[in-house]
Amino acid sequence: MEKSNADISTLRREYAVGGLDRDALAADPLEQFKHWLEQAIAQYADEATAMTLATANKEGMPAARIVLLKRYDAEGFTWFTDYRSEKGQNLAENAQAELLFYWPGLERQVRIRGRVQKVERALSEQYFNERPLGSRLSAAISCQSSPVDSRQTLETAVANLQQSLDEQAVACPPTWGGYLLKPERYEFWQGRPSRLHDRFIYQATAEGWQITRLQP
């Protein structure tokens, strides 16, 4: 039996894992993120790097989807995709985005906002060549987000490509590669009892990162 809206509204979760104090925060948001990510990986490695990527087109219509973080450093946060996808089209029109990490077991969220650019071609090719063969074949035959008449069409295209090429010949398509988000704002959120959550933002300024506590 399906739940009614009234039934759904009664669902509750209490947050009680821990708190987040200003004195405990790293001065550099990248160091704070690294610390939290390492804790998330230790708890559930398979999903710790999953993140929601939110984009918007030139009209401001938002779109969000889950992608995987593949690298991060002082330059920013990188993921890989088909440039012809909806997210690729959005970023071509509006090169701004936000990333959201949610680690429910730790009752934590991290939001990272900034401008986005394509990574260097050599990095895209390097990562592509490190992927499993099946993933490379799929990327080579798929025009992500475009309509297709059936799954069989996709599977046949993969099989035909695999038969015509040896493993080393699956080249990185020019329409596939990485994006780099250069952070301008971070938010670290820690769930707390009675919804009195801890929230801190790091905002980039000319003097460095400014840290501010937000009301929940």
- Domain map (residue ranges) of the chain: 14-124+181-214
- Verify whether residue 108 is a known catalytic residue: no
Q: Residues forming the annotated binding site for FMN? A: 65-70, 80-81, 87, 109, 144-145, 189, 199
Q: Residues forming the annotated binding site for substrate? A: 12-15, 70, 127, 131, 135, 195-197
Q: Residues forming the annotated binding site? A: 12-15, 65-70, 80-81, 87, 109, 127, 131, 135, 144-145, 189, 195-197, 199
The stretch 107-130 carries a mean pLDDT of 98
Nearest to 129 by CA among 75, 80, 163: 80
The whole-number pLDDT of residue 52 equals 98
The whole-number pLDDT of residue 2 equals 58
pTM beyond 0.75, yes or no: yes
Give 97's contacts (C-beta < 8 A, 6+ positions apart): 53, 54, 55, 91, 113, 114, 116, 181
* CATH number for domain 14-124+181-214, candidates 3.40.50.300, 2.40.50.220, 2.30.110.10, 2.60.40.1150: 2.30.110.10
What is the tens place of the pLDDT at every residue in 40-92?
999 988 899 999 999 999 999 999 999 999 999 999 999 999 999 999 999 99
Q: Determine which one of 111, 151, 195, 213 is catalytic.
A: 195
The whole-number pLDDT of residue 165 equals 84
Mean pLDDT across the chain, nearest whole number? 94
The whole-number pLDDT of residue 13 equals 85
Burial (0-12, 13-18, 19+ Cβ within 10 Å), 163: exposed
| DSSP H helices in 44-142 | 86-93, 121-130, 133-141
The residue behind tokens 């599977």 is 155
The whole-number pLDDT of residue 14 equals 87
Burial (0-12, 13-18, 19+ Cβ within 10 Å), 87: buried
Is the pLDDT confidence value at 169 over 90? Answer: no
What is the tens place of the pLDDT at every residue in 17-48?
999 999 999 999 999 999 999 999 999 888 99
Q: How confident is the model at residue 4 (pLDDT cuts 50, 70, 90)?
A: low
The whole-number pLDDT of residue 90 equals 98
**Alpha carbons 113 and 145: distance in angstroms, whole number:** 24
The whole-number pLDDT of residue 20 equals 96
Is the pLDDT confidence value at 177 over 60? Answer: yes
